[in-house]
Amino acid sequence: MLAGIRDWLRRALPSRCIFCGAAGARDGTCLDCVGELPGRDDERCPVCAIPMLAAEICGECLRKPPAFGRVLTAASYQFPLDAAIQRLKYGHDLTLVAPLAALLAGQLMEHARPDLLVPMPLARARLRERGFNQAAELARWLAGSMGLQLSLDATTRTRETVPQAFLPFDERARNIRNAFAASSKVAGLRVAVVDDVLTTGATLHELAKALRRAGAREVTGWVLARTPRG
């Protein structure tokens, strides 16, 4: 059954690289472009995934440990990955879901599998405006491809917030504080939160707090792209 799903997903992927347009791309991206993605092979903080000179916990995570245990990411939020994510989110190009999710999946294979995937909830106003939640679409693909359990309603936004991208870094934690709730279905589970971009980690921290209050045993971030500086 799972093999059939993977075969179908592979056939659904673009045959050209989403970055350079080269024909015959595997998983919608060519090896040259994937190998040249900024941050693809960087050493990172093992907690928040900020690029580091060595894979050591960064000063910020030592000073203020986040509610999540670690973040796994595909590459840095720089060209050409940032442009592809923007095309997905703001250009409504859903053909990019599969190749971008496959890019992230390639970095997850050697890590422990979670019990449950949940997408980062999108504010209701933005969901109505955009028509879809890009994190939910990425999570659907990952769940189907990797044979993982997915819940689209285990977490919710409890209030509307100003988009984080519109705020200075030092205002983002206050803006998103107590903006999430999680259901008891996460109790005792290792949960991976799927999102497209992580910048300061404030949003993931707040959602992880809600998940932990609901009884989640462990919270990991599966994030397509990490900004070079948080």
Quick: pLDDT tens for 143-152: 999 999 999 9
Residue 174 has φ and ψ, to the nearest 5°, of: -70, -35
Evaluate whether 210 touches 180 at the Cβ level (below 8 Å). yes
Give the CATH number, domain containing residue 40. Answer: 3.40.50
Q: Shortest CA distance to 209 belongs to which of 187, 180, 188?
A: 180
Evaluate whether 177 touches 166 at the Cβ level (below 8 Å). no
Q: Residue 202 above 70 pLDDT?
A: yes
pLDDT of residue 166: 59
Q: Which residue has the higher pLDDT, 25 or 113?
A: 113
Evaluate whether 80 touches 22 at the Cβ level (below 8 Å). no
11: burial class by Cβ within 10 Å (0-12, 13-18, 19+)? exposed
Q: Which domain holds residue 9?
A: 2-226
pTM of the predicted model, to two decimals? Answer: 0.89
What does the alpha-carbon distance between residue 67 and residue 63 come to, in Å, rounded to a whole number?
A: 13
Q: Which residue has the higher pLDDT, 109 or 169?
A: 109
Q: Which residues contact 76 (CB under 8 A, 6 or more apart)?
A: 37, 38, 39, 40, 42, 51, 225, 226, 227, 228
Count of structural domains, the chain: 1
Q: What is the DSSP annotation of 161-195?
A: ---GGGS-HHHHHHHHTT-EEE-GGGTT-EEEEEE
The region, left, alpha or beta by phi > 0 then psi within -120 to 50, assigned to residue 175 is alpha
**pLDDT tens profile 127-170:** 888 899 999 999 999 999 999 999 999 999 987 776 666 567 66
